[in-house]
Amino acid sequence: MSLEITFLGTGSAYPSPSRGASALVLRREGQCWLFDCGEGTQTQLMRSHLRAARITKIFITHLHGDHFFGLPGLLCTLSLQSDPDASKAPVDIYGPLGLRSFLWRSLELSHSQLLFPYTVHELVPTPDQCPAEEFKDFSGWDTGEALPQGPPGRVVHLDPGEDSYLLVEDEQLVVRAFRLFHRVPSFGFVLEEKPRPGKLNVQKLKDLG
């Protein structure tokens, strides 16, 4: 399995003319997975050798602006470069609880209609991931409010046995999120390649002594 990592931004707090806010892309078998999307990420993508249209998954570590304020703009740019296709697989977006509401409201208020489907999978944090005074429960924000245009997606809870969140699994790898301690609930992501059976013919070796 071939993996290639490109850093689009390594700055914090705010972007600068020479250094973007947090964003990196993992390229895997023709697909691009984006990790964080600070301001200016789409501009950095244009300067790189990567094609933004190949982004199929986006992972947001935490809800500080320098890690996700670039996301609505990126989605709108991707839409401008897209053709309407109801059969197209959705872009999967993973991040802390509250991300679905942020994206839906940002796109609604800006009258932005995306030409491609997307899903938001929210990770439910635990109170011990940040100082007690900073922890906010966003689970009831949209209770009782109809969100017919809101994006679909899963709400993912911590698996106590694994002490992690299972996000993606296919024939080659597993992607899990794990809890980090920060000023707000934060997550790290682990890509674990599954064992690959070898092609060694043990019986033939035995026959050859």
pLDDT tens series, the chain, 209 aa = 789 999 999 998 888 888 889 999 999 988 999 999 999 999 999 999 999 999 999 999 999 999 999 999 999 999 988 777 767 889 999 999 999 999 999 999 999 989 999 999 999 999 999 999 999 988 877 665 555 556 889 999 999 999 999 999 998 899 999 999 999 999 999 999 998 878 888 889 999 99
Question: In the chain, what percentage of residues exceed pLDDT 90?
Answer: 72
C-alpha–C-alpha distance, residues 138 and 112, integer Å: 24
Contact 11, 22 (CB under 8 A): yes
* Residue 172 CB partners (closer than 8 Å, separation 6+): 1, 193, 194
What's the pLDDT score for residue 199?
Answer: 83
Rg (CA), the chain: 19
For residue 59, give the amino acid letter.
F
Strands 23-28 and 3-9 turn out to be: antiparallel
CA separation, residue 3 to residues 30, 32, 37, 45, 191 (Å): 10, 10, 20, 18, 11
- Return phi, psi of residue 154, to 5°: -95, 155
| Max Cα-Cα span within the chain | 73
Number of structural domains the chain divides into: 1
C-alpha–C-alpha distance, residues 183 and 98, integer Å: 16
Phi-psi region of 153 (alpha: psi -120 to 50; beta: other; left: phi over 0): left
What's the pLDDT score for residue 1?
Answer: 72
Task: For residue 74, give its domain range.
Answer: 4-207
106: domain CATH number? 3.60.15.10
- Catalytic positions are 66
**Span 132-184, pLDDT tens digits:** 999 998 887 766 555 555 688 999 999 999 999 999 999 889 999 999 999 99
